[in-house]
Structure 1
Amino acid sequence: MRNVGILVFDGFDLMDVAGPYEVFLTASRLSERDGGAPLYSITMIAPDGADVSAYGGLGVTGLTSAADAGAVDVLVVPGIIDLATGRADRVLAAAVRTLSDEATLVTSVCTGAFFLADAGLLTGKSATTHWEDVPDLAELATVGEAVPGMRWVDAEDVVTSGGLISGMHMALHVVARQHGDELASRTARQIDLDWSPRPER
């Protein structure tokens, strides 16, 4: 069973987290329904373990600190509306580095790609983000290529995705990578999402 670590922090985009969370839980539930083992466990992580509030004010509690989370198989880093404030948060930046150092696969949703870039994870790699922010991502020296028009970009050990719902498409791609297209397609049907194994919009 793979452990998915989802990093949250004040101001994160709720759907960036809720979408992948539901995808991984649903894929695991379908496996169990078929008589197999659960595929994923999920750990909700905050930089220091304290409660956080999503953009709009919804609170999230019961979180694990980055220092206590240990190694995760899949790390999900969501985006934020106030990107300048998020990128200036040294505790958040340290958490991204700590968790990504131990993760087998690092993923981002929306402007979460900027946190990966700041951590040096996108050097020489192709990546994407919300369509409005692709030009700004392209200006970063730590990004190999910013790719527009894609729901996700797979750069082997790093997978970035566009805004909001694209995070669900990206998570389904991760399920497909790890457990096959059939389970990913069944998961997409279960959550009533029109998903394609191709990343183009």
Structure 2
Amino acid sequence: MTMRVAILLFDGFDLIDAGGPYEVFLTASRLLERDGLPPAYEVVLATPGGDDVVAFGGMTLTRLTDTDALDSADIVLVPGTIDVACALSDSALREAIERLAASSSLTASVCTGAFLLARAGLLRDKPATTHWEDLGDLGGCGDVAEVIAGVRWVDAGAVLTSGGLTSGIHLALHLVARTTSVDLAQRTARQLDMDWSPDPAR
């Protein structure tokens, strides 16, 4: 069965937070198709309203899917941003996260995307991580059970968080391992020329 991965974008998001996992899921599917098997993942880039977005640094992404047009997703991934306060004040973004998370099996964040999950109430009583510079602020959010340092990702069951920037690639490989197989995750990492370990502390 092909799983739908919805990567939720918004103005000011960090490009590698979304682009890294995007490449992981596409590459994993390409390797399966090379083996004569169906793709494991359908990756959808979505925004509230389907509007174009401008990543941090100025790159514009167009022809995006409206989150309202997504009835469900197996995995929802929320990237981080430099301007966390601006993203937290975006009510349409928060509503999109809440709605998609409610209908997904897994919700994940990269870097400061953890703050958006916390604002949506998804980290309540769960351990989490984020960029090392922001661990203290995440701990001050209130409902996070434990903020974990020194790991690339934290798997809290239905909700996963990862550290800064390239940690999102490691998290996506973990998601491939969890939803498909460790072997496919390792093959995908090799194809990406990535040094990856199933251990989040490595």
For residues 65-80 of structure 1, the aligned pairs below 5 Å read 65-80=66-81
- CA displacement 1:71-92 (0-9 Å, x = unmatched): 0000010001011111111111
Residues 67 and 98 in structure 1, CA contact (< 8 A), matched pair in contact too: no
Q: What is the SS of the residue equivalent to 2:50?
A: coil
1:111 equivalent to 2:96? Answer no
Aligned twin of 1:98: 99
Measure the CA separation in 1 of the matches of 2:125 and 2:92. 25
1:29 equivalent to 2:30? Answer yes
- CA displacement 1:91-117 (0-9 Å, x = unmatched): 111111111111110000000000000
Please report the RMSD computed on the Cα atoms of aligned residues, expressed in angstroms. Answer: 0.7
Aligned twin of 1:199: 200
Aligned twin of 1:142: 143
Identity of aligned residues (%): 55
Measure the CA separation in 2 of the matches of 1:139 and 1:51. 32
Measure the CA separation in 2 of the matches of 1:139 and 1:184. 34
Aligned twin of 1:165: 166
Measure the CA separation in 2 of the matches of 1:36 and 1:90. 40
Q: Give the aligned length.
A: 201
Instruction: Identify unmatched segments of 5+ residues in structure 1.
Output: none
Q: What is the SS of the residue equivalent to 1:37?
A: coil
- CA displacement 1:115-172 (0-9 Å, x = unmatched): 0001111111000000000110011112111111110000010110011110000000
Aligned twin of 1:58: 59
Q: What is the SS of the residue equivalent to 1:48?
A: helix
Compute the displacement of 1:49 (Å): 0.8
Amino acid at match of 2:170: H
Amino acid at match of 1:101: A
* TM-score, with length taken from structure 2: 0.98
* TM-score, with length taken from structure 1: 0.98
For residues 6-21 of structure 1, the aligned pairs below 5 Å read 6-21=7-22
Measure the CA separation in 1 of the matches of 2:148 and 2:49. 33
Amino acid at match of 2:156: A
Instruction: Identify unmatched segments of 5+ residues in structure 2.
Output: none
Aligned twin of 1:45: 46
Compute the displacement of 1:47 (Å): 1.4
